[in-house]
Amino acid sequence: MIQVPPGPAIPVLSDAQNSAEVAVAAGQVLEVRLSTRPGTGYAWQVVQGPPAVTVIRQGYGPAPGPYLRTRNGQLGQQVFDVRAPSTPGRIVALALAYRPVGRRLAFARIWRIRLSIGPAPASLSRPRR
């Protein structure tokens, strides 16, 4: 199990965490960065997770390291910011499929994790009055 420490920094998950169980705090924001080739007609799409896991934002970014060019186009990353559920004690799945845009049944790759939701730390909870 991967332990994600709570705090102000947003933890980053990548291709390497595929099939992992990740322990996070209730309501914690995570960044998921998955390899992609923009311009090929394929994109990562959330296929399991909502409404338990909320997708806050998604976009594209450069691949880490040197920006490579392959026969199928330049390598990049598709980035998703997601918020874990606010109910501790749950285990929820988040799955993304890399598939042709606009087609529901064709899958090229699947990336999935299980989020084990722990209690929200004081830094993530509401301030006392």
Q: What is the CATH number of the domain that holds 84?
A: 2.60.40.2020
123 domain-assigned: no
To which residue do tokens 């980053």 refer? 12
Is pTM, for the whole model, over 0.85?
Answer: no
53 domain-assigned: yes
- Using the predicted structure, report yes or no on whether residue 124 has a pLDDT greater than 90: no
126 domain-assigned: no
State the pLDDT at residue 128. Answer: 44
Integer Cα distance of 127 and 129 in angstroms: 7
CA angle 57-11-61, nearest 5°?
Answer: 50
* 24 exposure class (CB count in 10 Å sphere: 0-12, 13-18, 19+): buried
Q: Which residue segment(s) compose the domain that 104 sits in?
A: 2-118
pLDDT in tens, 64-95: 665 555 555 678 899 999 999 999 999 999 99
Structural domain count of the chain? 1
Integer Cα distance of 68 and 89 in angstroms: 42
- Using the predicted structure, report yes or no on whether residue 50 has a pLDDT greater than 90: no
